[in-house]
């Protein structure tokens, strides 16, 4: 293959048995490190009766206690860190519904790790040094802007750090500087597309789109690729707790699952609300252990993201790192209406299959005196009727949400990550 696009060929194609040995060695190291350097983590291990010497092989990971978002909040701001604050050079954070944010600190080594993981993603998408990359997530506490930036620096891209907003200027810069690679949150790609359509304009130099941080269904991916007239659209993955966008991985040109960088993270899939692994290939909660981070490695972090292993075999692209299914949703995103379980991603996928439907939609869960109902609002061309939307959703989801069709531009837009699900309480007080 001529264009494997490896950034770190040896690490990305390490034979599986060597990869497992490396993971086991790094697991032993990180557990000893965390035990010695984080009093909070040491106490958690002690409470479980676990000492670093008990961790000999990969299978021993099951002995370790879990972490979740609540631990980050409980020990806000830097209680989980393994280093003194003088060694921290950057931080990012995400806010949750509870108000106390999740904070991730970085040492210089962590920024290097982040940059290399994200550079692998750029490279896997077909980027080469000197390419023009436009980075549209905000440069701030959200990790998106800086994650794409650190990766682009590693690879040597020509960075246009536009950050979020001012879509008209984004388009002008992309045209003037011949942007080849566009990065952003999924819904921002759709904002750019919308304005291009209004202007009757295009981005002729664009070849690669790398998007993430939101629900990203296959049909949405196709819609974005068609609108930009490109064939390379990728789903990048990472989160604040693992060190940000790109730390975890991305789909490769084979688009047969998302590769997770297993030399940096151990991947477990656990049964919902249980502490035992699912059978290989079954859906469950993704649990991650960071092997190479310095300021705040997570140990058995319950991500809340639902996925399944697609394959642990070597991929057609030559990479040996595990492939998981695109994230179906979050454990707490699962919606139950009239006894049917579904995820926002399934709604998105079904909607985007309807010709004439635009990539702007809302899922509204209404509570009428304890009885839940769901209403789907979507923007579409005049050719699309509410009946068509309802009929298609019934076929796809197995129940009938009410569907209201809006003209393009009528639904509200948000800066940053899009809110797709809304709750409305119609109960009598
Ligand atoms: Zn691959």
DSSP state of 37: H
**Ligand 1 center–CA 325 separation, angstroms:** 12
**Ligand 1 center–CA 232 separation, angstroms:** 14
Report field, pTM of the whole predicted structure over 0.75? yes
Mean pLDDT of the chain: 92
**Ligand 1 center–CA 145 separation, angstroms:** 25
347-375 confidence digits (pLDDT tens): 888 888 899 998 889 988 888 877 778 88
**Ligand 1 center–CA 320 separation, angstroms:** 8
195-249 confidence digits (pLDDT tens): 999 999 999 999 999 999 887 888 899 999 999 999 999 999 999 999 999 999 9
The SS3 of residue 30 is helix
**Ligand 1 center–CA 321 separation, angstroms:** 8
Residue 264 burial by Cβ neighbours in a 10 Å radius (0-12, 13-18, 19+): buried
Report CA torsion sign: 347, 350, 352, 356.
negative
324-339 confidence digits (pLDDT tens): 999 887 777 777 777 7
**Ligand 1 center–CA 313 separation, angstroms:** 10
The SS3 of residue 333 is helix
DSSP calls for 379-424: EE-TT--HHHHHHHHHHHHSS--EEEEE-TT-S---SSSPP-EEEE
**Ligand 1 center–CA 251 separation, angstroms:** 7
CA distance 189 to 222: 12
**Ligand 1 center–CA 256 separation, angstroms:** 7
**Looking at residue 1, what is its pLDDT?**
41
Give the residue from 191, 124, 173, 122 showing the smallest Cα distance to 150.
Answer: 122
Residue 312 burial by Cβ neighbours in a 10 Å radius (0-12, 13-18, 19+): middle
**Ligand 1 center–CA 124 separation, angstroms:** 9
**Ligand 1 center–CA 327 separation, angstroms:** 17
**Ligand 1 center–CA 229 separation, angstroms:** 23
Domains and CATH numbers, the chain: 1-330 (3.40.50.12780), 334-425 (3.30.300.30)
**Ligand 1 center–CA 180 separation, angstroms:** 22
């Amino acid at each position: 293959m001529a264009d494997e696009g490896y950034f770190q060929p040896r690490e990305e194609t390490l034979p599986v048995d060597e990869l497992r040995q490396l993971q086991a060695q790094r697991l032993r190291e990180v557990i000893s490190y965390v035990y010695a350097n984080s009093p909070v983590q040491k106490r958690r291990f002690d409470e479980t009766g676990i000492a670093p010497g008990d961790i000999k092989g990969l299978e021993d990971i099951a002995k370790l206690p879990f972490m979740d978002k609540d631990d980050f909040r409980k020990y806000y701001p830097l209680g989980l860190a393994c280093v003194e604050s003088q060694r921290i050079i950057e931080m990012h954070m995400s806010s949750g519904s509870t108000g106390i944010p999740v904070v991730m600190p970085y040492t210089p080594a962590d920024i290097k790790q982040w940059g290399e993981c994200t550079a692998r993603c750029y490279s896997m998408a077909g980027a080469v040094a000197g390419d023009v990359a436009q980075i549209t997530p905000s440069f701030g506490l959200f990790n998106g802007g800086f994650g794409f930036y650190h990766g682009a620096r590693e690879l040597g891209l020509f960075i246009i750090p536009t950050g979020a907003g001012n879509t008209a200027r984004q388009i002008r810069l992309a045209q003037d500087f011949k942007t080849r690679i566009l990065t952003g949150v999924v819904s921002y790609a759709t904002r750019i597309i919308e304005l291009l359509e209004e202007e009757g304009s295009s981005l002729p130099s664009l070849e690669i789109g790398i998007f993430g941080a939101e629900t990203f269904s296959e049909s949405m991916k196709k819609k974005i690729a068609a609108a930009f007239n490109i064939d390379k659209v990728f789903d990048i993955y990472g989160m604040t707790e693992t060190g940000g966008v790109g730390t975890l991985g991305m789909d490769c040109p084979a688009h047969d699952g998302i590769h997770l960088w297993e030399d940096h993270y151990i991947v477990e899939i656990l049964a919902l609300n249980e502490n035992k692994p699912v059978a290989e290939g079954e859906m469950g909660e993704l649990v991650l252990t960071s092997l190479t981070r310095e300021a705040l490695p997570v140990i058995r972090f319950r991500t809340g993201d639902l996925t399944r292993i697609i394959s642990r075999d070597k991929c057609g692209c030559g990479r040996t790192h595990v492939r998981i299914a695109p994230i179906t949703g979050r454990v707490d995103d699962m919606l139950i209406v009239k006894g049917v379980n579904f995820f926002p991603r399934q709604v998105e996928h079904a909607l985007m299959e309807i010709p004439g439907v635009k990539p702007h939609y809302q899922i509204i869960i209404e509570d009428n005196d304890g009885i839940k109902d769901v209403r789907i609002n979507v923007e579409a061309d005049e050719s699309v009727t509410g009946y068509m939307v309802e009929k298609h959703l019934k076929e796809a989801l197995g129940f009938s949400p009410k569907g209201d069709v809006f003209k393009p531009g009528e639904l509200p837009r948000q800066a940053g990550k899009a809110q797709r699900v809304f709750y409305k309480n119609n109960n009598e007080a």
